[in-house]
């Protein structure tokens, strides 16, 4: 079957043909549900809120139930920490669904013509899943900016004060879904068309609030850590094929390539752990530093066949999703030539 390209004016028709109007909600990622369920369990382990273990492919929750779970997490963690956690959970879930979105289009040989089309297709899926009435108000590829409006947001409906308390979730979610989908889409499109396109990644998301409506302004930048992203796309492909160890190896190579290229290191003696610790020497400690070392260590044990248990799909998925977050953080971290030199020198003397 030949590949058929389409633009935003054909997005609704295309989605209808792919899954049928009644099936949008069933395309929401099972892994996405697992991610938020696990995150909530960790945050609420000391509280009295109990999260039921139900088949994720069959679950339907009232908006108030989700809000109750999130309010419990907020009360437990405090508003400031909760906002950061919610952004991270949203980004992880967005990465998972961004991957599934492009894979679904690939399987049906339907290639979006541009970035805006991808965003419009996403809006159709999640609107149909009753996350809200989602509209792409603007996407300007030249200015690298977009605006998304969500009315009837299921996270705000029913509240009378602090209406937008859970909206950091959508800030992270939008960042994750666009960055992952755009990364995979450009590599797919560039394999088909002779004129290559530069990959955009989401640099920031900010919200302006109008009553219960949420308007998100998104800014993008051109992807710089290309080798790392190439490896990561291969990692997701290996995961989808059930090759967990290969996926983890590729994610590990992606982590190393991202950090190495960010600081401009050369040679085979590059040390991932020492280099990431050296960031603190120039006042640039990464928010994901501890997780990066943890997942790098896990991947290294898998590669060296020293893991005490059998490698699982969950291991593969977690490391791949984290690697996407890690690359995005590195892309957003500015380093001068002097700072890069100091990081490399510090890593050598540890």
Q: Helices then strands (H, E): number in the chain?
A: 12, 6
Angle in degrees, 0-180, between the axes of helices 313-332 and 79-107, rounded to the nearest 10: 110
Strand residues in the chain grouped as ranges (E)? 4-6, 110-112, 133-140, 145-151, 200-210, 213-222
Model pLDDT, residue 129: 81
Domain ranges of the chain: 4-222, 226-349
Model pLDDT, residue 158: 74
Top-level class of domain 4-222: alpha beta
Model pLDDT, residue 183: 98
Which of the residues in the chain have pLDDT under 70? 1, 20-61, 160
Model pLDDT, residue 57: 52
Cβ 129 vs Cβ 215: under 8 Å: no
d(CA 112, CA 156): 31
Cβ 270 vs Cβ 260: under 8 Å: yes
What is the Cα gyration radius of the chain? Answer: 20
């Amino acid at each position: 079957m030949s590949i058929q390209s389409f633009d935003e004016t054909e997005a609704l028709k295309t989605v209808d043909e792919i899954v049928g109007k009644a099936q949008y909600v069933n395309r929401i990622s099972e892994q996405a549900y697992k991610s938020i369920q696990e995150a909530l369990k960790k945050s609420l382990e000391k509280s009295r809120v109990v999260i039921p273990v139900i088949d994720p492919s069959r679950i339907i929750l009232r908006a108030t139930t989700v809000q109750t779970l999130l309010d419990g997490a907020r009360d437990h963690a405090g508003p400031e920490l909760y906002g950061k956690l919610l952004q991270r959970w949203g980004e992880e879930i967005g990465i998972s669904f961004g991957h599934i979105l492009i894979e679904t289009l690939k399987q049906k040989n339907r290639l979006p013509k541009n970035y805006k089309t991808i965003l419009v297709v996403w809006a159709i899926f999640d609107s149909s899943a009753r996350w809200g009435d989602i509209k792409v108000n603007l996407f300007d590829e030249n200015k690298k900016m977009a605006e998304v409006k969500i009315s009837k947001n299921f996270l705000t409906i029913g509240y009378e004060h602090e209406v937008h308390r859970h909206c950091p979730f959508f800030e992270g979610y939008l960042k994750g879904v666009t960055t992952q989908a755009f990364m995979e889409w450009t590599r797919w499109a560039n394999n088909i068309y002779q004129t290559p396109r530069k990959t955009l990644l989401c640099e920031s998301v900010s919200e302006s609030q109008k009553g219960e409506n949420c308007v998100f302004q998104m800014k993008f930048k051109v992807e710089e850590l290309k080798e790392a992203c190439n490896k990561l796309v291969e990692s997701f492909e290996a995961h989808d094929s059930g090759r967990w160890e290969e996926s983890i190896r590729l994610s590990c190579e992606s982590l190393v390539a991202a950090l190495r290229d960010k600081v401009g290191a050369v040679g085979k003696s590059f040390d991932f752990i020492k280099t990431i610790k050296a960031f603190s020497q120039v006042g640039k400690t990464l928010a994901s530093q501890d997780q990066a070392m943890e997942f790098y260590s896990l991947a290294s044990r898998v590669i060296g066949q020293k893991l005490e248990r059998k490698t699982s799909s969950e291991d593969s998925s977690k490391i791949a999703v984290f690697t996407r977050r890690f690359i995005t953080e590195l892309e957003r971290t500015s380093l001068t030539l002097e700072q890069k030199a100091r990081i490399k020198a510090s890593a050598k003397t540890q």
